[in-house]
Amino acid sequence: MAKPKKEPGFEQSLQRLEQIVERLESEELELEESLALFEEGVKLAEACNRRLDEAEKKVSLLLKDREGALSETPFAPEAEE
């Protein structure tokens, strides 16, 4: 029995999406190739969005207090010195 195809990680998907955008912006592609790359890019963007949504849900679960209420704290990156 064949193993299910493992999806690439978020970083790999994002990197591939950036490559696709660069190629599409080069304007040196035939229509068929452009459409195929665009379709791949849309699938990658959807997969990245799905992963980001999942990560946001996990973070929200971690931030719940004992009564189950979320305490929203704005993200503030450390100040660069």
Average model confidence (pLDDT) across the chain? 80
Query: Could you tell me the CATH number of the domain that includes residue 34?
Result: 1.10.287
pLDDT digits over 25-52, tens only? 987 889 999 999 999 999 999 999 999 9
Domain containing 41 equals 10-63
- Rounded to the nearest 10 degrees, how much is the dihedral formed by the CA atoms of 63, 64, 65, 70? 100
**pTM reported for the whole predicted model:** 0.67
In a domain, residue 69? The reply is: no
In a domain, residue 2? The reply is: no
In a domain, residue 73? The reply is: no
In a domain, residue 27? The reply is: yes
Q: Number of folded domains in the chain?
A: 1
In a domain, residue 79? The reply is: no
In a domain, residue 28? The reply is: yes
pLDDT digits over 22-31, tens only? 999 987 889 9
In a domain, residue 58? The reply is: yes
Q: For residue 44, with 0-12 CB atoms within 10 Å meaning exposed, 13-18 middle and 19 or more buried, which class applies?
A: buried
